[in-house]
Every structure is written in C-alpha cells, then in structure tokens.
Structure 1
Amino acid sequence: MNATVTYSPRRWWAGPLDVEGLALGSVEAAAATVNLYAGKPGLFRTTSALTAAAFDSFGHLRIAGRKPQGFAPLSGFHRTGDGWIRLHANYPHHEQRLLQALGATSPEEAERRLRSMAALEAEAAIQSNAGIAAAVRTRSEWLGSDMGRAASLGAWVAFEFADGTADGLGLRDFGEESSGGNSAGRGSGQAEALPLRGLRVLDLTRVIAGPVATRLLAALGADVLRIDPPAFPEIEDQFVDTAFGKRSAEADLSLPGNQHRLRQLLPAADVVVAGYRHGALDRFGLNPRELLASHPGLVVVTLDSWGSAGPWSGLRGFDSIVQAACGIAHVYGKDNHDGEWRPGALPVQALDHATGYGVAAAAIHLLARRREAGTGGAAHLSLARTAEELFSLGRNTERPSEVSAPDYRSTDSTYGELRYIGPPLTDGGQPLDYPFPPPPYGGSPLAWV
C-alpha cells in the first residue's frame, strides 16, 4: 500500500490480523492502475468507509426488502474426533458430494460421522469425492505442508507476457509512477468517458472473487459478458450482489456449437477473466498460454483457490476453506461461553474481495502495458496467496473505530427493489456507481453488443 496515503480510521474490524490493510491495499492497487491507465493520477480514490462497505457488499444488500441467504446449514465449522474441519455446501452439487463422501443422508448424520473421524481423514475423504473441505490447521502446520509451501511461492500477482518474459507484483507494489497516456480503449477517444469504455471483458468467473473484479471493470466502463454453465447455476442472491453492470449468458461449453461461438467472441475481446479451479477450463482452449498464442493482444487474468503449483492446485475451494487451511481460522479461534475452544473467521470474506480487486488491478495493468508494447499478457492470483499477503502485514494494533455510515443506493431490477453498496472508488471526488442493475440471469445472448 502506498505509504503516502493516510486513511482515517485505519482500523474498524476487531481481530488479530490487519484485514483493513489488506482491504485498503487491494482497492488502492485497483485505483492506482486505473489512474495510470487514464493518465490522471489521483482521479480515482478510495476511503475507509467506501472500502469497508464494499468488502461487505453481500451483507449490506437487500433484495425486495429481504436479507440475502448466507451459508447453508452444512457449511461451517464441525467437530471431528481430534479437532475441527470446515465444510462448504452452499451449492447443491457440493452438498451431495460431501454427504456421499461421509456416507450420510442428512446434515445431522454427517455431523455424527465427522465426530468419529480424524480431521485429516475426513478432509481426504471429502476431497477425493470432489467435495469441499479443509481441516483447521495451525499456521505452522500449513507452512510446513507441501500445500502451504507451494501457496507461499511467487508474487501476489504473477505476470507472464506474450514475449515469454515474466514479472510479479505484491500488494504494496502498485503505484502511479508514470502517466500511462490518455487513450480510453477500443473506439473511444472521449477524454471525459469512463477509462474502460469500449473495452470488452469475457467473464468466466463464479462465486465472489472473480465477479467482484469484473463488477469493478463494469463500473469503470467495460462491456462485461458473464457466462455460466446451465447445469450448475449460480446462487441467485450471490449473482445479484456481483452482477451489477454486466450481461449474463448461459452456455454449456462442452457442446461443439457453444465452443464455436466462444471462439467467435475471443477476437473482439480485450480481457478474459477466468475464475475456476486451476486448469478446469483448459479443455475448452482457455489455457492462458494457448489464448495468448492465438490472440497476442489479449489480456488474460486467472484466479483460483490454491495456486498453480502444489498438491492442492487442482482442488476446488472457497475463501472460508482457505481460511481454515492456512491458519487464519486458528488465529481467530477463541473459547465460547462454555469454555470450549472454537475456530473463528475473518470479519468479512476478505480473501475473496482482496483477490477480486487484485484481479481488476492486474487486468488494467496489462491493458496499460498492451497500449505501450502492443501485446497482451497473462496474470494469475489465488486466494491462498492473498492469505500470505494478509499475514505479511502483521497485526493492526490500533483500537477499532467506527467508519461513516454506508452510502446506500437503491434501484429497481427484475429481482425487485435493490438496496446496494456502490464501488469502493470516487471518480473526481464523486461516488462511482454501476451503469445498470443486475440483469436477468442467463438472459443475454452469447454475443457482444
């Protein structure tokens, strides 16, 4: 984070780690890159209040007056025979795989099964059945494992360019050292236009981190087309939170016809953001190196849970699961009112949101480089590597202070009236907003406007 910028308050969430530093640093990275791209240092800024609200956008959201649905009953921490495990079962297919792995037919039966198993035994059984779980590890246990060592390698954002060179940037490395020029992208020379106006973003992401990134790109003017698989629809409330300013299409990419239509989209795309488990989209020709070989001017940013190396690189995961594995849940653990120690969690899903703003920063950084070098490039981030950035910040020892009340906004949508939080940036001192509300899920054609 740029040391010359002072935020007040600097701490607003209780807890042992500097989650505020991670949040502010990731949003500031996005602001710095878009200012560099626009050639206007200081144009886009953030504040403590804007960042705090944006990192809890799901919690602030109201859909036709109701709170969105949070974690499913089976998701969360569960006691095992020798410790604790965290499960994720928000999606029906993940819940089914988890129950099958435990030989259970209900959450109650799964709970009983887990208490008869060791945490690592349950973790292995669930993961081998494509379910999603992680034993609660101490920080030293994670760092001493092959998975932890692999996750800590390299920079927060790892870049690979079309000419074969590579680079990396950490949370504190993004800045505005040069002007970056004034061009606003394909077909746009309007100085007052949003900086990404005219750019096309193919959004192949789900859940939170990737959609947060592309939601910000949409707020900055990009045409974002999100594609989801019909067989595994996104959770509706989650989609509503992160789909502002986008168009939404459904397509089974295993079908040859849809693969052909996807190939037709790529030549006119500026950015591809992919947020599935590592290597999951390679069979559709969406490996970053293959994409750059076919489309040298493309910007490709990928994100996953565990990184591109190590024994867990191909596993599914979520923010909460990474927290359990890497030591965060243990650090936030405490005794409950009965005197029993229980693992804890970050005050918000900060790994998701910080990774999302890092993805947006990486995409804009590569767009700026493309303008100068004439070729695109690729970047990769992971939730596990973002956790390492959080630990590297140390502890925030200031006492928590209240931030300003959120700036709630409202809009009509096909889901009813929405109360929502805008992007965590101001544009020339004015709050940035999304161009339109979340669209009907899957209601857009698989084509550019």
Structure 2
Amino acid sequence: MGNLMDLRPSFLKGRTPSGKSSRDVLQKLWRSVDLPDESLEHVVLTGADPVVPSSFAVGTAAQASMAAAALAAAEVWHLRGGARQQVSIDMLHAAQECRSHFTINGVTPNPWDPITGVYRCGDGGWVRIHANFAHHRDGALALLGCPTGDGATREAVERALGRWKALDFEQVAADAGMVVSAMRSFEEWDRHPQAQAVAAQPLLTIERIGEADPRPLPRYGQDARPLKDIRVLDLTRIIAGPVCGRALAAYGADVMLVNSPQLPNIDNIIDTSRGKLSVLADLDTADGRIALGNLLRSAHIFVQGYRPGGMSALGFGPQDAARIRPGIVYVSLTAYGTSGPWANRRGFDSLVQTATGFNHAEAQAAGQETPKPMPMQILDHASGYLMAFGAQVALARQATEGGSWHVRVSLAQTAHWLRGLGRVEGGLACPMPGFDGLMEAVPSGFGELVAVRHAAQFSETPARWTRPSSPPGTHQTVWPFN
C-alpha cells in the first residue's frame, strides 16, 4: 500500500483545476449557510498560491477559512447595529499564521517528541506514530515491545515495525486507544468506508438541537469589537480547537480556556491562549463539573474537542448543554467525523494527513519515497477557523431565530475540502518564506512572546488580543463582570 513510485503529477499552474480563487472558495462557504451576498462585497483577499512549498492549495485553505471567520464577525457586528466594514486578508500572512511559529523568551519551542514520525513496516508500507504526549508514546512503544521512557529510541521502533504490516499495526494501535495511522494513497483512502462516510457529509454542519427564545445581542458603540461580551467556554487542546477560541477572542469575545489538571498540554498553548482567560477544572470530580455547569449557565458558546461521546459521559454533551443553558451554541471537533467505522477514533492533523492520502500525494509531487507532510498543520488551522465561522453563524441565528445549536467540524472533512481545492503545479519549488514584518512582541504569563499578528484586518473594529496568554489555572472559574 502507499506505493510512491508512480511520480506523475498533472496540475494546473497557480490555480485549482477548476480555476477557483480564494474568493470563489469563500463565496461557496458563505452561501452554504445562507449568509447575505452583500457581505462578500466588503472583503479583500490578496495573494495567490503557492505562498509556501506545497503541491496543495494550502494558502487558499488558510485564507478562505480565516476570511469566513472574520467576515462572520463583521456580519455579527452589523447585526448588532454596526456599519458594514471591510475585511482584508493577505494569503501569505494567513498561511504564515497557520505555521504556529513563535518564540518565548527568545527560544523557539520544539513540540515534536523524538519518537514521533513515520516508519517503514515489514510489508513496505508506512505508519506515522504520534508520540508528543508521554502516554501515547509509551503506549505505542509497549505495543511494539520497545523500551519506554528515557530508554526509547527510533532505532528500536524501526526494528520492531519491521515485523509488522502497516495496516495491522494501525488497527492494533487503534484498538488500544493509541494514535497511529498507516499511510494511504488517495485511491486507497477513497475505497475506505470512512472516506465514504466523510464524503457524504458537508464541510460543516449547523443543526438546531433544541428550543429557546431568541437572545438578541446588545448594541455598543462603533469602537467595540464584534463579539464584545460574548462568553465562550473553550474545552479544547492541541491546535484546531484552541485556534477557534483564539480567533473568537481576537474578535472581542470573553473566551475561557478550561483545562484539566490531570491532562498534559503542548507548548502551542503559549501561542493559542492569546486573549483567553485560563482556568482549571477537573471534570472527573463533582466540584469540577459543578464549576463548569455554573459557567455554562451564562455562556453563549461552548467549544469542545473531546472524542465523540466523551463530553456526554461527563454530563456536558450537546443535549445536556442545551438543557443547562437553553440557547447555547455548541461546537464539536472530531478527527474523522461522527459517522462511519472510525467515528470514535482518535486523531491529530499529522495522522489525518497520513491516513487520507496527503503525505503520499505530496511525496509523489516531490519525487521522493519517504512520506512528505504538508508545510503546516493546515487541517488543524483551517478547521479552527471553520469552527469559529460556524459558531458565529449559529450565534447570529440564535439571536434572530432562537433555538439551541450544534456546529460540527472534523479534520477529515476539512481534508476532503482541501483536496477538492486542487493542486498547484510547481508549488513545492516555492521557497519557505520568512516572518519579516508579521511578528509582534507581547508580554505573557510564560514570558516574552513573539508571535504572528492576526492576518484578518478590519477597517472599523481591529482584531486584537487584550488578555495575555497565561498558564492554566491563572484565573478563577468565574466570568469577568461586564
């Protein structure tokens, strides 16, 4: 499986095969949820793929998904009585923001564990192991009979996987709750029942799940940001969900990141926590669940990235949240969607890239045998902005129509959408750009943070983060008084 020897790319230079631009992609997204065309007259999108080295339209995906989220914020502002305003996004800036580059006290963190990566198996196939969390790393190593902890080495993993077939190890790892993907070609993925389940679903769904009176959004002066006084509970980790919360915070929301004291985080929390309150609540305890329930009763948006069924088991699934807080906008992120044989399977951006054919296709385009990832975690970032987009669309519907709403996004559905944007001939020859002129230095609870400014520019209500990123537990589990 995943043979890389057929190196025959056939792409159309600089455009997708259908000639779609970022504006075309944004327009389709916008109209898919019945938003007014008038808003599209107020968006300016500059740049064209390739802006980073990839044979995929990753710049278009970054720009269009971010533009959808930002333009939705402007639409909410218009709903609150503000004048329509221009939203501008440059493709290179959007793509660079999606690379998650930052320094803290002058040091660039490396989130990748040495065991994380791709390995050749005994049948010639490849697997990717995600080992950035110690329990995932040691669990995968234990399955292979390799030393764990400080004794773990890539060489030992390579020897052990030489005795496995790629698909077999993927399945055994999944059965054990580990995070491993076998590399597939697009053709192999398309034959998989999960691919067919994903293809049958829209990019994102916005579903009314309960009855509630409309909660009209208060109006403010023209200097307020679009989401002023909107309360968002952010129960997500890693990248996609945190990017959603960070975007909503940039547009003015009070975003509260809720971490468990029992769960680890990666260094990206330093970057993705910009603009957020940061609290601790152990949902495995009664006190933690009571604290979350109290916060939920006056929240507008609830964002969660637990695997399907995880929040329901804790008493905070979509229907639970709608009962506790009628009129809630509930946003769910999954790896592979909510239907199909992999609906409950754990996954991360890099694993979904591998399983769904992107690493194989990128390697083919590069003329190399080793699987090749895309130049950023684009599935994570685009999914995060699509979550923010859907959340704001549902917020506007709640304010005008009433009801409780459930927004669903998955990394695999975002991957399917990205693939549909087509390929970029010569994209891999594009040099990796630098970050000159895009960075800002700000104080944070972790030290001096230098990170990419938000790429979405608003003519009337500039996006910004008014709260510094802070370690989990910095704040109390109470909403700020507004």
| TM-score, L = length of structure 1 | 0.89
Residue number among 229, 236, 251 corresponding to 1:198 in the alignment: 229
The AA in structure 1 aligned to 2:288 is N
1:351 partnered with 2:379: yes
Pair 1:240–1:6, CA change in 2 (3 A): closer
Partners of 2:357 and 2:170 in 1: CA distance: 16
Work out which of the residue numbers 240, 243, 266 in structure 1 matches 2:270: 240
SS in 1 for 2:164: coil
Structure-1 residue corresponding to 2:406: 378
Which residue is 2:4 aligned to? none
The partner residue of 1:425 within 453, 456, 460 is 456
Q: Quick one: percent identity of the two aligned structures?
A: 33
Residue 172 (structure 1) aligns with = none
| C-alpha distance in 2 between matches for 1:282 and 1:376 | 16
Question: How far apart in 1 are the matches of 2:175 and 2:363?
Answer: 27
- Residue 369 of structure 2 is matched in structure 1 by 341
Separation in 1, partners of 2:106, 2:198: 41
* Counterparts of 2:200 and 2:400, CA distance in 1: 29
Q: Are the aligned partners of 2:76 and 2:396 in contact in 1 as well (CA < 8 Å)?
A: yes
- Alignment of 1:45 onto 2:66: no
C-alpha separation between the residues in 2 aligned to 1:25 and 1:278?
Answer: 27
Per the alignment, residue 415 of structure 1 pairs with 446
Contact 1:134 1:322 in 2 (8 A): yes
When structure 1 is superposed on structure 2, of 298-307 and 432-441 the one drifting more is: 432-441
The amino acid that maps onto 2:207 is: E
Q: Structure 1 residues 335, 294: CA separation in 2 closer, same or farther (over 3 Å shift)?
A: closer
Q: CA deviation at 1:191?
A: 2.9
Shift, 1:112, TM fit: 1.2
CA contact (8 A) 1:423 1:434 kept: no
- On the 8 A contact 1:218/1:224 being kept in 2, the answer is yes
Q: In the alignment, is the contact (CA less than 8 A) between 2:222 and 2:461 conserved in 1?
A: no
Out of 3, 19, 23, the position equivalent to 1:2 is: 23
Distance 2:110 2:53 in 1: 24
Q: CA 1:311–1:162 in 2, change beyond 3 Å: closer, same or farther?
A: closer
Alpha-carbon separation, structure 2, partners of 1:246 and 1:112: 44
| Helix, strand or coil at the partner of 1:197 | coil
Asked if structure 2 preserves the Cα contact closer than 8 Å seen for 1:335 and 1:341, the reply is no
CA separation of 1:359 and 1:32: change in aligned 2, threshold 3 A:
same
Deviation at 1:262, TM superposition (A): 1.4
Gaps in structure 1 of 5+ consecutive residues? 165-182
DSSP 3-state at the match of 1:196: coil
Structure 2, unaligned runs of 5 or more? 1-21, 25-39
What letter corresponds to residue 143 of structure 1 in structure 2? D
CA distance in 2, matches of 1:404, 1:91: 29
Residue of structure 2 in register with 1:62 after alignment: 103
Bigger Cα displacement from structure 2, 407-416 vs 66-75: 407-416
Distance change in 2, residues 1:404/1:202 (3 Å): closer
Shift of 1:194: 0.5
Q: Distance in 1 between matches of 2:54 and 2:359?
A: 11
Report the Cα offset of residue 284 of structure 1: 1.6
Secondary structure of the 2:293 match is: helix
Listed as ranges, the matches of 1:322-337 within 5 Å are 322-334=352-364
The one-letter code matched in structure 2 to 1:134 is: S
Opposite residue 44 of structure 1, the aligned amino acid is V
Tell me the residue number matched to 1:180.
none
Contact 1:265 1:448 in 2 (8 A): yes
Aligned partner (choices 112, 126, 130) of residue 84 of structure 1 = 126
* Secondary structure class of the residue paired with 2:61: helix
Is the contact between residue 298 and residue 325 of structure 2 (CA under 8 Å) also seen in structure 1? no
1:363 alignment partner in structure 2: 391
Q: CA deviation at 1:335?
A: 9.6
Query: Which residue does the alignment assign to 1:155?
Result: 202
